[in-house]
Amino acid sequence: LICALCNSTEFTAKYNSVADYEYASYHPIDFVQCKHCSLIFQEPLPNVDEISSFYPDSYRNYLPLGSGIFTLLKKMRFKNQAKKISKLLDDKNSRILEIGYGNGQLLMALKDLGYQDLSGIDFDDKAKSMLESCGIKVSIDNAEKNISFEGNFDYVILNNVIEHFLNPFAVLSNCFDKLNPGAKVILLTPNSSGYDAEIFGKYWAGLHSPRHTFLFNGHNLKLLANKIGFTQVDICSEQDAAQWAISFQNFLQANKIDKSRLKNGLAWYTIFVSVACSPIELLQNLLGNSASLMAIFKK
Ligand SMILES: [Zn+2]
């Protein structure tokens, strides 16, 4: 076994037998951690043709938004995320690509903010026609293999998706090749060194087993960017109160404390726990050990 990031051959068993606590889609998984760069990954990695079975029809990140309080909160979240990301974007005519757009809500929120030239890639086509009807260009493809758009981009956004790929290195290399000089990758991912990861262990929502293959921290994200050839790397703290709530839910589900059935991978109380955890999240950010990270890689 060789670390795909730093070529080390020394590992520790990090999390053993991590079940899919949210969707029960697959058998429990073991994660190892590289002793040198602290990259965490599934060992063994899943087979490429098993991946689609990890995303059942009820997988919440692909569901179209319905109505009601959950939708309102979700929409608010995407809107805030788009606003945050827009602070990093130069002008409304920038050419922007989102990889793994899921239900398409971030692209829609960017559209609402006035961004004109938006494109997206996902291997699932559920949101395709909705996005295309709004003038957003869509490609149904695996960014690991190919980014099938003509020309280069000013920004590539990866919003909690890099940790889903079998080969995140190939994805970022492909992004690098499709960026104009000076252009940026904006990447969000769970922080494998965050306090919540330490507290919850194998129940940590960031593992999202079996869907998350590689888990990063600030240190190895920098290593990754440098290895691919990005010239400048910035890593910032990012909040994700849902991560606390889902970690808590995973713990209750796994230990049969909560016997209620999950809907779309969520328990009835998780949204309330997530609101209640917001202050903890803020504190975690202040202490510099956030639940999530935002990385900006400049070519
Ligand atoms: Zn390593």
The rounded Å distance from CA 148 to ligand 1 centre is 30
The rounded Å distance from CA 158 to ligand 1 centre is 22
Within 10 A of 12 (CB to CB), how many other CB atoms are there? 10
Sign of the torsion angle spanned by Cα atoms 275, 16, 46, 98: positive
The rounded Å distance from CA 2 to ligand 1 centre is 8
The rounded Å distance from CA 9 to ligand 1 centre is 8
The rounded Å distance from CA 78 to ligand 1 centre is 33
The rounded Å distance from CA 223 to ligand 1 centre is 9
Per-residue pLDDT at 67: 61
The rounded Å distance from CA 194 to ligand 1 centre is 18
User: Rounded CA gap, 131 and 134, in Å?
Assistant: 5
Two structure tokens written together for 249: 């839910």
The rounded Å distance from CA 63 to ligand 1 centre is 35
Q: Is 106 helix (H, G, I), strand (E, B) or coil?
A: helix
Per-residue pLDDT band for 251 (boundaries 50, 70, 90) equals very high
CB 107 within 8 A of CB 127: no
Say whether pLDDT at 12 is over 90: yes
The rounded Å distance from CA 80 to ligand 1 centre is 34
Beta bridge partner(s), residue 98: 120, 157
Two structure tokens written together for 253: 């589900």
Within 10 A of 273 (CB to CB), how many other CB atoms are there? 18
The rounded Å distance from CA 83 to ligand 1 centre is 34
Nearest C-alpha neighbor of 294 from the set 226, 242, 244, 238: 238
Two structure tokens written together for 257: 């404390």
Residues 267-282: what's their mean pLDDT?
Answer: 89
CB 114 within 8 A of CB 89: no
Q: Which of 23-27, 203-207, 278-282 has the lowest mean pLDDT?
A: 278-282
Say whether pLDDT at 68 is over 70: no
Sort strands 40-42 and 29-34 into parallel, antiparallel or unpaired: antiparallel
pLDDT tens per residue, range 118-161: 999 999 899 999 999 999 999 999 999 999 999 999 999 999 99
For tokens 């995973």, the residue is 250
The rounded Å distance from CA 34 to ligand 1 centre is 5
The rounded Å distance from CA 154 to ligand 1 centre is 30
The rounded Å distance from CA 221 to ligand 1 centre is 11
pLDDT tens per residue, range 191-244: 999 999 999 999 999 999 999 999 999 999 999 999 999 999 999 998 888 899
The rounded Å distance from CA 188 to ligand 1 centre is 20
The rounded Å distance from CA 164 to ligand 1 centre is 18
Residue 242 backbone dihedrals phi, psi, to 5 degrees = -60, -30
The rounded Å distance from CA 165 to ligand 1 centre is 17
Question: Which whole-number Å values give the CA distances from 299 to 71, 89, 131, 182, 229, in the listed order?
Answer: 36, 15, 28, 5, 7
The rounded Å distance from CA 82 to ligand 1 centre is 32
The rounded Å distance from CA 176 to ligand 1 centre is 21
The rounded Å distance from CA 290 to ligand 1 centre is 22
pTM confidence score: 0.94
Say whether pLDDT at 64 is over 90: no
CB 188 within 8 A of CB 239: no
User: Rounded CA gap, 215 and 218, in Å?
Assistant: 11
The rounded Å distance from CA 76 to ligand 1 centre is 37
Say whether pLDDT at 71 is over 80: no
User: Rounded CA gap, 263 and 114, in Å?
Assistant: 34
User: Rounded CA gap, 27 and 25, in Å?
Assistant: 7
The rounded Å distance from CA 193 to ligand 1 centre is 15
Helices (H) and strands (E) in the chain, counts: 9, 11
Sort strands 29-34 and 95-99 into parallel, antiparallel or unpaired: unpaired
CB 28 within 8 A of CB 250: no
